Amino acid sequence: MLVSYRTSSSALDVKGEGPVDSFGIGDVARLAGIRPSAIRYYESVGLLPEPRRLNGRRRYGPEVLNRLTIVRMAREAGFTVVETRALFHDFPADATASVRWRTLAERKIGEIDATSPAPGGCGRCWGRACAADV
């Protein structure tokens, strides 16, 4: 589920806190259901872009919430931080989301099969899911 927020077309400053279409790290953490330290960590490993700063404080646009939703989905699906970062950085800019997810899933299937004690590996279920047109 991607999050969408309406923002004004003008960037008004509200009591020195920055434009009304931006959020502080605490606001983003609360809206995303994670801790501010997780946001700082995601920035440090390249899952989130460096935010702009206002008076030394991080300010995020509403698009960061969509990015955090994608990060959460990838982590819940079992992708590592490195694999999740690949979703954002290892593909051409015009690569669709489905191409990115499918490519990573196919790599993950190989990894699962290689480490699975089950005959034929566990990746077959993932393979069927990747082959399905959704």
Task: Express each pLDDT in 73-123 by its tens digit.
Answer: 999 988 999 999 999 999 999 999 999 999 999 988 888 777 766 655 555
The answer as to whether 104 is a domain residue is yes
The answer as to whether 85 is a domain residue is no
Block residue for tokens 């702009």: 52
- What domain count does the chain have? 2
pTM (predicted TM-score): 0.70
Q: Which two tokens stand for residue 51?
A: 């935010």
Regarding whether 113 and 65 lie in a shared domain, the answer is no
Alpha-carbon distance 105 to 123, whole Å? 10
User: 8 with 20: CB under 8 angstroms?
Assistant: yes
Regarding whether 33 and 3 lie in a shared domain, the answer is yes
Alpha-carbon distance 86 to 79, whole Å? 10
Block residue for tokens 């490195």: 82
Regarding whether 112 and 75 lie in a shared domain, the answer is no
Regarding whether 15 and 41 lie in a shared domain, the answer is yes
Task: Express each pLDDT in 42-82 by its tens digit.
Answer: 999 999 999 999 999 999 999 999 999 999 999 998 899 99
